[in-house]
Amino acid sequence: MESSSSSSTDRITWRASVLTRHLNEPSSSSSPRPLESSICMQFSPPELSEKFDFDVIEMRKLMDGHNFQDRDWLFGLMIQSKLFCPKDSGGKVFVSPDYNQSMEQQREMTMKRIAYMLDRGVFQGWLTGRGVETEMQKFAFFEVIGIYDHSLAVKLGVHFFLWGGAIQFFGTKRHHVKWLKDTENYSIKGCFAMSELGHGSNVRGIETITTYDSATGEFVINTPCESAQKYWIGGAAKLNINGSNQGVHAFIAQIRDADGNICPNIRIADCGHKIGLNGVDNGRIWFDNVRVPRENLLNSVADVSPDGQYMSAIKDPDQRFAAFLAPLTSGRVTIAVSAIYSSKISLAIALRYSLTRRAFSVSPNEPEVLLLDYPSHQRRLLPLLAKTSNLIGLGLEVAHIVEFLNETSCCSEIFLSYLCYRYAMSFAANYLKRIYVKRTPEANKTIHVVSSSFKATFTWHNMRTLQECREACGGQGLKTENRVGHMKGEYDVQSTFEGDNNVLMQQVSKALLGEYIASQRRKKPFKGLGLEHMNDPCPVIPATLTSSTLRSRQFQTDIFCLRERDLLNRFAAEVSQHQAQGERKEYAFILSYQLAEDLGRAFSERAIFQAFIESEVTLSSGPEKSMLSLLRSMYALITLEEDASFLRYGYLSTDNASSVRKEVTKLCGELRPHALSLVSSFGIPDAFLSPIAFNWIEANSWSSVQH
């Protein structure tokens, strides 16, 4: 016991003497000695080492497609105002919403930002303007707003595209005169309440009932049960005339007075906190026999006379229902496009970070390797860039480094794949906007099918891109200020609003089947929806695929068309077989869902590829065209690699599939030196990215904490 006690005392005495010496040690200077800079990682701007072999401004014009000066003007307008929360970090100013604010504060800031832009004429002509130029400018402004904050864009989308769009397209002159100008000026604030607790994508199934009272000349709107409550705000109801259900129609109903108080016979509740979009005040609405004037029926498709007679030039209920839904495609168009810009933000941040962040050395005393010089990192992001640019030589030891990197991982290649997706989908988004703003009644089916497929494809891909970029940024991707991680919660909703993606893709396959059946019955060639290739002889894929063949535009076109052609034939045959066994057409379609999914994907990816080619052929020979050729090949081959249909149905042999994979790796190496110039072509100002895209060491320094 004594020995143990003595030992403890000795240890205490020794520790006390060490602490005393430490505390009393004379300091050579008033400030702490700096760490040796030679052993610390230093930030070096990638612009000092990366190449720019093509004109990024010209490439940006090709990708954005329109209204470049308008976009830059609105970017500048946001950066100038404190409402957009400018913050200095690492010697740069960044603008981004303060997501640490409460839900109520975020909503308040959304309305203040809208008021700021309203006062400066941003929304002028959004509802009262006419012509292609006005609509394209509206798209450009809306895309810029979405780059800053998804909540702000969604709030404006509900007001202008859904409420305002309903007045424009469902209404007639009396509604336009009364409502459009006041909506554009925000004298009236509107919402669009179609979704219900019990019915979202199935609009035909909504349960809200509207009955016409001919004695008073009013419609009576009622929520008959809890599942009929309007959910997520978003005014549609089934119309009963003399006891007959005439289907879904749209009405204007006032839910608040001029002072913001809830109107009689209306009940409203908040949807509560969400995983994202908390700057949007989503709500629920119950109608307790609310009366609205007969004139509040939006009557472009159908009307009711004062004595209660139902009138419509479209006698077929299905065609009438389709006419009601046609104007809603604007929502899918804007969602598809915003998904592209969300992916561009995350890729620009993740790729710029990977061009300055290093990890692991090839051998002792050698510099650590840049993340983007790992083949696996290239494969993570650069194909996505193409769908949306070989290792950098590191002196005389490049061969050893390549061998080391190939053995360790393949993450850079994935990064490069994501980069390529962005280019392809940008061109497809521009095509979608063009056919929408130049729409005619005859083009409604094409717009519906293309917007449905692109909305599903782009938003699914956006969530995949955000997750990949979040992981590629490591721990820094978790910080809200670095945007990428937080954007996952903000954009997740895109997969289900304005139509569940899986349901939309089934509609695409159903439309293609309809075209197939019509062509067979009429014994006439296919026309429309890009199916004209079905009239040509079936493409033949070479037994052996060389590198030059794989990069050939003809081969790429042939195999995309072969897949779509074969899957449409298979789908039609399977549905027909189920019907021959006694199943109803609709159920036969449901039973064939796997082929329907494959066909929907094949249609969408062929249409995207076609839009890419149409953009590429507009360029004369030069560095931009050469770069697009590389990106097009990356998009085509990564699609072949990722879709099991090409192997499942025998369009590629296993040997050829292996050749495709090797070619993708080669393309990643060829695109790697151009990664910075490719993301710079996105045209997103530095202020709308994040600190880790630039001097992330300075942004995390002790001085930044004190500041």
Q: Which residues are annotated as a binding site?
A: 234
User: What dihedral do alpha carbons 686, 611, 158, 148 form, nearest 10°?
Assistant: 0
Spacing of C-alpha 677 from chain mean position: 22
User: What dihedral do alpha carbons 433, 434, 439, 442 form, nearest 10°?
Assistant: -110
**Measured over all CA atoms, what is the biggest interatomic distance in the chain, rounded to whole angstroms?**
110
Distance CA 345, CA 483 (A): 9
Distance CA 295, CA 349 (A): 51
Taking residue 82's Cβ as centre, other Cβ atoms within 10 Å add up to 7
What is the length of the chain?
A: 707
H or E segment and range at residue 548? helix 547-550
Phi first, then psi, for residue 637 (nearest 5°) are -75, -35
Distance CA 423, CA 405 (A): 27
CB 291 within 8 A of CB 216: yes
Structure tokens of 644?
Answer: 């099991």
β pairing state of 209-213 and 92-95: unpaired
H-type helices in 65-164, by residue range? Answer: 68-80, 103-119, 132-148, 150-156
Buried/exposed code over 383-399 (b: 16+ C-beta within 10 A; e: otherwise) = bbbbbbbbbbebeeeee
Q: Provide the β-strand partners of residue 236.
A: 250
Given 196, 207, 498, 616, which residue is catalytic? Answer: 498
H-type helices in 367-442, by residue range? Answer: 375-387, 398-408, 413-417, 421-437
Nearest to 414 by CA among 109, 667, 684: 667
Nearest to 472 by CA among 483, 484, 461: 484
Contacting residues for 418 by C-beta, under 8 A, at least 6 apart: 343, 347, 380, 381, 382, 383, 384, 385, 387, 388, 464, 465, 468, 469
Structure tokens of 315?
Answer: 């006698």
Contacting residues for 260 by C-beta, under 8 A, at least 6 apart: none
Distance CA 199, CA 206 (A): 6
- 586 an active-site residue? no
Contacting residues for 76 by C-beta, under 8 A, at least 6 apart: none
Structure tokens of 677?
Answer: 């110039």
Helices 623-642 and 375-387 cross at an angle (nearest 10°) of 100
DSSP 198: S
Distance CA 132, CA 123 (A): 16
Distance CA 278, CA 514 (A): 41
Structure tokens of 568?
Answer: 């449409």
Distance CA 490, CA 278 (A): 9
Amino acid in position 611: A
Amino acid in position 235: G
CB 569 within 8 A of CB 515: no
Distance CA 52, CA 368 (A): 24
Spacing of C-alpha 79 from chain mean position: 23
Q: Which residues are annotated as a binding site for FAD?
A: 234
Residues tagged active-site: 498
